[in-house]
Structures are given as C-alpha cells and as structure tokens.
Amino acid sequence: MSSLPDVVPLDRADEVFLERARVIAHGGWGMVHPNPMVGCVLVKDGRVVSEAYHEVFGGPHAEVLALERAGSEAEGTTAYVSLEPCNHFGKTPPCAQALLRAGVRRVVFGATDPGVSSAGGADTLREAGVEVIGPVWNSRAARTENPFFLHTAKDRRPFVALKLAMSLDSRIASAPGVRTRITGTEAECEVHRIRTGFDSIMVGAGTLRADNPRLTPRLVPPGR
C-alpha cells in the first residue's frame, strides 16, 4: 500500500507499480538537481518489463532509460511514472514523445510537472490516444517526493531545512562550549546523505567556534 494519499483512486496493481516508481526515484537524490527525481516502471500483463530512475543531471530521464532497457518489449506497456512526463526539449528530448514512439499504451503518473516549459506531457499523450491516469497524488504528497524542485518551481524561493540533534532532555551539548556526540552512527550517515541534496549548509557562529565543522558528506558517496 502506498504511503502517499492520492486524489485518483487506483486498483491494487496500479498502486503497487506506481509506488515502485516512487521508491526507485530516490536513487537520484543529490545527483539530479535542479531536475526533479523521477522513477519509471514499464509493465505488461502484470510483469515488470523494465524500470529506471533519472540518475544524473543532464543524463537521460527515467522514462527514456526504462524504454531503452525494454527495447521492443516497451510496445503495449503501461508506464508508471512518479512525475508527469516532460514535454519540452532541454538537455534531453521530451519524454512524452519517447513514450509515444515506443508504443506505450497507458501512462499512470503521480505528480503534475509544475514547470512552465516542461509541463503538458499528459495532454500530449492523451491527444495521441494514450490512456493517461493522473495526477494521482495531491499537491502535499507530491511535495514530499521532490521538495526542492516543487518548492522552487511553485514558490520561487529556496528550500530551507533545519537539522537539529538534541538529547531526550532537550540539550544540544553536555555543557556550553563542550563538543558532545548526541546522535549515533546511523543518524550521522543519514545526515550526510541528506547533505548531498543541498546546495549549501549554514551553521551559527557558536557552532563554528566550538566545533569548526567541515559540513561535507563524508560517510556516503558524494552528490553532484
């Protein structure tokens, strides 16, 4: 069962495959900015033919990679995509046209593309006779999947997040000015992973004087 509330009811199979597209999209974390993270799963007769996610900025989009991996088997498939297929020429050709050329018969997508130039892929597919279902997720759910991209595209403001390590008794150090390790290795690795998705990191003057932190993602593969 998908963890995201939807605005379009789906049958169980559609829900499962769209959820898979959502999950694999996160493989692009820290690598595709300023593009969105996108996952695509191609399915025929209840069987996954291929799947892919947008791996790196400037590289092929998820739909194109999935189509390439499927080859001739892409014809007649249903494409489950976490974000509406793009409809413009940028660093890569439009994904909507790639899906049409491959003979995909049906598309189910999670969130609408908010871009002025890239949106409209769903309409292009529908006009060509492809069955299109979406957007499936409501706007709040969509933002949890691509917070940076959707926040910037819709609100025209930078996405800012706060990271705070605190003990159960609400302390951030054992004593003022004393460097204290509060979180464990697992949490530290997650913080480093999250860092790869941000363009910059800021700390307060007190933290700088006490810890002089490097603020680099050292415990995970570096992002773009």
Residue 63: active-site member: yes
Q: Which of 158, 18, 156 is nearest to 81 (CA)?
A: 18
Q: For the chain, which domains are there?
A: 12-154 (3.40.140.10), 161-215 (no CATH)
Q: What is the pLDDT along the chain (224 residues), one digit of tens a residue?
A: 445 555 677 899 999 999 999 999 999 998 998 889 999 999 999 999 999 999 999 999 999 999 999 999 999 999 999 999 999 887 788 999 999 999 999 999 999 988 765 568 999 999 999 999 999 987 777 777 788 887 777 778 888 888 888 888 888 777 776 777 788 888 888 888 888 888 888 888 988 887 888 888 887 777 66
In contact, 99 and 39? CB cutoff 8 Å: no
**pTM across the whole model:** 0.82
pLDDT recorded at residue 1:
42
Q: Which of 15, 19, 63, 84 is catalytic?
A: 63
